[in-house]
Amino acid sequence: MEHPIISIQHVNKLFNTKRHKIQALQDINMEFGKGELVSIVGPSGCGKSTIIRLVDDIIKPTDGTITVDGITYDNNKPISKEMIRKLGFIFQVPNLYPWLTVKENVMLPLRIHGLSSPEYDENVQRLLKYVDMERYADAYPSELSGGMHQKIGVIRGMVHKPEMLMMDEPFGALDENTREMLNIELLHIWQETGMTIIFITHNVEEAVLLSQRVYVMASHPGRVVAELEVKFDRPRTLDLLADRTFGEYCTKIENLIGKIELKQIK
């Protein structure tokens, strides 16, 4: 990878509590190429979510450097509005506003960024159609299922056309069938938009299905133990789940995480 769009170099993160310091991340080195979909997988508490919060400048590293689209973050001041506009963030819980319709919830980032044009209006309609939610555009969150909420949370993070998208276990609370369906829809959207996506998950099969590469982490402190390239052709389908090589990838990642920590992610 000659020129990664996101580079994390020798990053450490310490959190101070009243009693002691907690080292959440230790010497993290990661790179993400333009247009890549890369997963970070590992047990709960290994610092996966901390990494994308650092990239999104929600928190600052204790030391080390983060460079995004050629700009190295300054730990003493926030990133620019221009950089914020390039980033999207999808949380574990969609947190839809109950008094807003589906369409209004999706459009919220456009209001925040002051973006208003026919191009963005068309993008709202396109994304709603892509996740089969167009007919619910005027419905309210109370009228939707949990899976529908998650769909809205996902496309809301994409509506302002970010160049880079951070996804923090967006499908973790869903049943297996809904999760698999949304994984395939995410692959379609990614291939169409060409965004760089960092996908956080504790589900090994999900990581292998979605990703071009997978970073495997361990905890106490959070650290990278391996980087694997996933060599399956595109487009990918759920048929891969029954593929022997797919199972071998999953087994390798599970063995890297280790039997003790694996209990936390099953």
pLDDT of residue 181: 83
Nearest to 172 by CA among 38, 57, 53, 41: 41
Is the domain defined by 6-262 classed in CATH 3.30.930.10? no
Which pLDDT value is given to residue 265? 47
Report residue 6: phi and psi, to 5°.
Answer: -130, 130
Average pLDDT, consecutive stretches of 10 residues, N- to C-terminus, the chain (266 residues): 88 87 93 96 90 95 96 92 92 90 94 88 88 92 90 90 92 80 86 92 93 93 94 91 94 80 48
C-alpha dihedral (90, 92, 93, 94), degrees to nearest 10: 20
Tell me what pLDDT residue 260 has. 41
Structure confidence at residue 259 (pLDDT): 52
Burial class (CB in 10 A: 0-12, 13-18, 19+), 14: middle
Q: What are the sequence ranges of the domains in the chain?
A: 6-262
